[in-house]
Amino acid sequence: MSVKIMSAVFESETLAPTERLIMLALADHADDTGRCYPSISRLGRRTGLSERAVQTNIRKLVNQGYIRVIAGGGKNNTNVYFVSANPAADAPCTKCTPAADAPQTPQQMRPNPAADAPEPSGTITKPSEEPLFIPPREKSKRATSISDDWKPSQKNIADAHKQNLTDWEIENESEKFRDYHKSRGTKFKDWDAGWRTWIRNSREFAARSAPRRQQPQAGQQFSGLAGAAMRSRVARQQGYEG
């Protein structure tokens, strides 16, 4: 807070009521150099004005030389304001009137300047044409843990059907998927992608683990139930052939 600037704003005789209110709100955030960077929404809350009204009056104050704006120069890309209770010396004058005893010149008697009137020699600082309000950046999505009641969505089920999983297999894999990641405390930004990887790996593992039928080799002996079944089948085949 700059008490110095606030006192000067209170004593100003040229500020309109709404402009004075915004200047006081800016001075409440400023240091003694007049530098501050409150957001438009914060100024609206402090003054009770709409954001549109705040922006409109800030443009007026810029044109009158009370405020200088650096768009996006503050924290989180907010505008930086340099506040002065007295208009800048080179600001365009909006309420200037000639002295009562000042002599009139031909150009002052014209309602509009002549078409070939020369450009003024003084340098006039134009207000910034950058927007006074810059929306905050969208926050990136954070990784989260799986919920205790996670169930596959319709999209997850559709992805599983593309891998030729049956409804029973989807239900079984979803329980294993949830219990596995819950026990390990896994965190993903995209759980849909994690599910697609899971069912793809599950299908590939099932294909590799499928039992293959092996033909008995000549002279190979089997014991136990396997041997009994093999001998029974051979006996039946010999009986048919006899």
Q: What is the CATH number of the domain that holds 36?
A: 1.10.10.10
14 and 78 belong to one structural domain = yes
Domain boundary among 33, 61, 94: 94
Instruction: Report the domain count for the chain.
Output: 2
At 232, is the pLDDT very low, low, confident or very high (cuts 50, 70, 90)?
A: low
The pTM of this model reads 0.36
Interval 9-19 mean pLDDT: 85
Give the distance from CA 21 to its chain's centroid.
Answer: 31
User: Alpha helices, DSSP H only, in the chain?
Assistant: 3-11, 17-29, 40-47, 51-64, 106-109, 154-162, 167-184, 191-209, 224-241
202 inside domain:
yes
Between 105 and 23, name the one with better pLDDT: 23
pLDDT digits (tens, 9 = 90+) for 40-80: 888 889 889 998 999 999 898 899 888 898 887 777 777 88
For residue 68, the enclosing domain spans 3-94
65 and 148 belong to one structural domain = no
8 and 85 belong to one structural domain = yes
| Burial class for 145, CB neighbours closer than 10 Å (0-12, 13-18, 19+) | middle
